[in-house]
Amino acid sequence: MSAETFALELQSALTRAEVADAYLDSVQGVIDANAVGLYQLDRTSQQVLDVRVHSTGDFLDEYERYGRVDDPVLEHVLMSGTAIDSSRLPGDRWHDCGARHALGVAGYGHSLEAPVVTSGYLFGTINFARDLAHQPFTLADTAAAERVAKHLGRAIERTVRYEMSAQRSRALEFTIERLSQPVIITDWDGRVVFQNRAAADSCRLSKDLDGRLNIADGLSRAILDATRAFTTEGKRVQTQTISTGGGRQLVVKTYRLADATRASATLLYERAAQTSPRTLPTWDVLTRREQQIVELVSEGLTTREIAERAFISENTVKQHLKRIYAKTDVSNRAELIQLTWASSAGQSHDSGPVLD
């Protein structure tokens, strides 16, 4: 097996366990050895965290008991950060050490080690051993071990990022799943990527056989309309209010996620049939224009969207909001929406599903 094949085996691995297996199964095509090992070490104490070995003999117990503490090959690797084999050690340093005697239990007499570095830190070592019937490792073998260690370090870095990404994804999915807020994630092809329990319980989405949303229901249409606005108009967020069964209205707010994801997140807000801000106890102190602004804010519209709907400038919208905040004793738009919806909810006690 060639060095190129070895590199391809590493690249196909997705987890650290798969990387270790690929290394152990293929590295002997690059460096001839009777025993091959991969040690993971603690970054601070350099204690062994994990060890994987392919060997024709059993020597690990002896090596861990008295060989590791007296291994000049390992000592050189840890001190210099470079590969070395036992034949390059001075004098009788290798012949008299505990590591050689431990390896000798399995009939091995030659050792080669190289450091594996990931993200600038020592991850561990790769280890090779030959029996006395073989020639000692050569300088070419040492150079090959350096290259193998670099490939291995890069593969481990990649798999760590992959595993962390998968872990973050699971954590986010776990969190979103337990939100009481209905959340729907869709891709730009109109397929539902994820729908939390609250969304599944409160609404039904019409889908084609291939899983894509169709226009058979108002919510699906709203999400598809927002997706088209993102891909053709460059919009980042779109808010729509749709009518649902049972005389209810639903505020559908869809956000464009990072372009690399080609996905959107939709949040659903239930509004009772009587959602006019006229139910606010402070309604009489607002001007007619301010009442209109509150009504548009309660629909989840952005400042720009409110300006377009009311045919005024964005700056004028901001000035109206400042006066509204002062009159209603709130400090931001979120509090104003909560006040509006709380007052509206007080007019209706029906707690049925969002969509019929």
Quote the mean pLDDT of the chain: 86
What's the rounded Cα separation, in Å, for the pair 341 and 348?
A: 11
- The three-state secondary structure class of 70 is helix
Q: Is the pLDDT of residue 154 over 90?
A: yes
Residue 7's pLDDT is what? 83
Print the domain residue range for 77: 3-170
Domain termination residue (choose one: 170, 192, 217): 170
The pLDDT score that the predictor gives to residue 349 is 39
Instruction: Supply the DSSP symbol for 69.
Output: G
- The answer on 105 and 65 residing in a single domain is yes
Task: Identify whether residues 203 and 328 lie together within a single domain.
Answer: no
1 pLDDT higher than 60:
no
Q: How many CB atoms lie within 10 A of CB 296?
A: 21
Q: In what side-by-side order are the strands of the sheet with 121-131?
A: 48-55, 35-41, 121-131, 108-118, 84-85
* 50 and 157 inside one domain: yes
Rounded Cα gap, residues 328 and 243, in angstroms: 28
Percentage above 90 pLDDT, the chain: 48
Least confident of 86-90, 92-96, 164-168: 164-168
CB 214 within 8 A of CB 320: no
* Encoded tokens for 252: 């559908």
CATH code for the domain of 318:
1.10.10.10
Domain check: are 66 and 158 in the same one? yes
- How many distinct structural domains can be found in the chain? 3
State the pLDDT at residue 263. 93
Give one DSSP letter per residue of 220-244, joined into a string.
Answer: HHHHHHHHHHHHHH--SEEEEEEE-
Question: What pLDDT is recorded for position 283?
Answer: 60
On whether both 156 and 184 belong to a single domain, the answer is no
- 260 and 198 belong to one structural domain: yes
Q: What backbone torsions phi and psi does residue 186 show, to the nearest 5 degrees?
A: -130, 150
Q: Is the pTM of this model over 0.75?
A: no
Same domain, 209 and 156: no
Domain boundary among 170, 203, 237: 170
10 and 156 both lie in a single domain: yes
Lowest mean pLDDT among 10-19, 44-53, 110-119, 311-320: 10-19
For 327-343, the pLDDT digits (tens) are: 887 888 877 887 776 66
Q: What's the pLDDT at 352?
A: 38
How far is 248 from 310, CA to CA, in rounded Å?
Answer: 24
User: What's the average model confidence in pLDDT over 220-239?
Assistant: 90
Final residue of a domain: which of 170, 186, 206?
170
Whether residue 110 has pLDDT greater than 80: yes
Please state which of the ranges 3-7, 218-222, 283-287, 321-325 shows the lowest mean pLDDT. Answer: 283-287
Are residue 254 and residue 140 in the same domain, yes or no?
Answer: no
237 and 150 co-located in one domain: no
- The verdict on 185 and 227 lying in the same domain is yes
What CATH number has the domain bearing residue 233? 3.30.450.20
